[in-house]
C-alpha cells in the first residue's frame, strides 16, 4: 500500500499521514510533486489518495496529474481522502469518477474538514481554539475511518449520486471556471516584496520566478495558497486584496 497526496498548505499532508499511520503504519507516503511518484505507484496495488477541494472541485494540478498519468491507475484499488474548509458535496467522488474511467477499483471515500487556508479573504476564518477543535475532530474521524478500512467496511463519503448533486449545487456550477484552468491572477506587491525567493521555491507549478531582482508571477497558478501562506512579508494575494492571516496545521496541534 502507498499513500499519495497533494497538499497546498499542509492540511492534506497531515491527514494522509495520520490515516496511513493507523491503517498501515510504515507504508510509504509521497507527494505527487515528487519525481519518483510514478515509479512508487507502479510498485503498489492499493493507494490512499488525498487532496484538497477548491470550489467543490479538484485542484487543477491534481486533475492534470490523474489525466496525464492515466495508464498507471488501471486495476489499482484506491481510497480517497478529500480535505475542505467547509463543504464539498462529492470531494472524494471527483477523484473516484475520474479514476473509474481509467480502470481503477474504488474502495471508498472520506471527507475531512480542516482549518481554512485561503489567507486573503475573511470568509471561514476561525479562532485558534475553534481550529484546534477542528483538528481534533478531524484526527478522530481519520482514525475511525482507518480502522473501518482495516475491517473491510470503508466509508463511502462523496461517492454516490446524491453527493454528486450536492457538489454541483453547492459551488461547482457557480465557480467551475475558477478551477477549469490555471490562473494568472496571483499578485505580488513590489513595495512589500523583499525578493527573498521563498515563494519561487515553494510553488508546485514553478509559476513564480525572479527576473532582474524582481519576483514575478506567471499564468500557471493552481490556487494552492502555499506561497501566500508562507510569504514572510505578506506580499502575495490571489482572491483578496490583503493577507488576513497565515498559519500552518502545526499551529493548532
Q: Does residue 87 share a domain with residue 149?
A: yes
Helices (H) and strands (E) in the chain, counts: 9, 9
Percent above pLDDT 90 for the chain? 81
From CA 91, how far away is CA 166, in angstroms rounded? 10
Q: Is 218 a domain residue?
A: yes
User: Structurally, how many domains does the chain consist of?
Assistant: 2
**Residues forming a β-bridge with 108:** 79
Q: Does residue 215 share a domain with residue 121?
A: no
Per-residue pLDDT tens over the stretch 7-33: 999 999 999 999 999 999 999 999 999
Q: Is 245 a domain residue?
A: no
Burial tier of 156 (Cβ tally within 10 Å: 0-12, 13-18, 19+) = middle
pLDDT band at 213 (very low <50, low <70, confident <90, very high): confident
CATH number, residue 52 = 3.40.50.360
Q: Does residue 107 share a domain with residue 24?
A: yes
Per-residue pLDDT tens over the stretch 87-106: 788 999 999 999 999 999 99
What backbone torsions phi and psi does residue 50 show, to the nearest 5 degrees? -120, 140
At 81, is the secondary structure helix, strand, or coil? strand
Q: Does residue 115 share a domain with residue 73?
A: yes
Q: Does residue 46 share a domain with residue 10?
A: yes
**Residues forming a β-bridge with 2:** 47
Q: Does residue 37 share a domain with residue 86?
A: yes
Q: How far apart are the first and last CA of the chain?
A: 27
pLDDT of 89 reads 86
- For range 144-148, the mean pLDDT: 98
From CA 30, how far away is CA 16, in angstroms rounded? 10
CATH number, residue 218 = 3.30.70.20
Name the residue range of residue 224's domain: 187-240
Distance of CA 216 to the CA centre of its chain: 24
pLDDT of 174 reads 66
The DSSP H or E segment spanning 108 is strand 105-113
Amino acid at each position: 500500500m502507498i499513500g499519495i497526496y497533494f497538499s497546498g498548505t499542509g492540511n492534506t499532508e497531515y491527514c494522509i499521514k495520520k490515516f496511513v499511520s493507523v491503517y498501515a503504519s510504515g507504508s510509504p507516503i509521497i507527494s505527487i510533486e515528487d519525481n519518483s511518484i510514478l515509479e512508487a505507484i507502479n510498485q503498489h496495488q492499493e493507494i490512499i489518495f488525498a487532496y484538497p477541494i477548491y470550489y467543490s472541485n479538484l485542484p487543477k494540478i491534481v486533475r492534470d496529474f490523474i489525466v496525464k498519468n492515466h495508464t498507471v491507475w488501471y486495476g489499482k484499488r484506491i481510497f480517497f481522502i478529500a480535505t475542505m474548509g467547509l463543504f464539498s458535496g462529492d470531494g472524494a467522488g471527483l477523484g473516484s469518477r475520474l479514476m473509474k474511467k481509467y480502470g481503477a477499483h474504488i474502495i471508498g471515500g472520506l471527507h475531512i474538514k480542516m482549518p481554512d487556508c485561503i489567507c486573503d479573504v475573511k470568509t471561514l476564518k476561525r479562532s485558534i481554539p475553534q481550529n484546534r477543535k477542528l483538528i481534533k475532530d478531524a484526527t478522530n474521524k481519520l482514525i475511525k475511518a482507518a480502522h473501518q478500512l482495516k475491517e473491510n467496511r470503508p466509508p463511502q463519503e462523496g461517492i454516490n449520486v446524491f453527493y454528486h448533486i450536492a457538489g454541483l449545487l453547492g459551488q461547482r456550477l457557480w465557480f467551475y471556471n475558477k478551477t477549469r484552468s490555471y490562473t494568472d491572477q496571483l499578485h505580488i506587491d513590489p513595495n512589500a516584496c523583499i525578493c527573498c525567493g521563498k515563494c519561487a521555491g515553494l510553488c508546485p507549478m514553478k509559476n513564480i520566478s525572479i527576473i532582474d531582482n524582481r519576483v514575478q508571477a506567471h499564468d500557471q497558478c493552481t490556487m494552492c495558497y502555499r506561497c501566500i501562506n508562507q510569504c514572510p512579508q505578506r506580499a502575495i494575494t490571489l482572491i483578496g486584496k490583503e493577507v488576513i492571516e497565515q498559519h500552518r496545521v502545526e499551529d493548532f496541534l
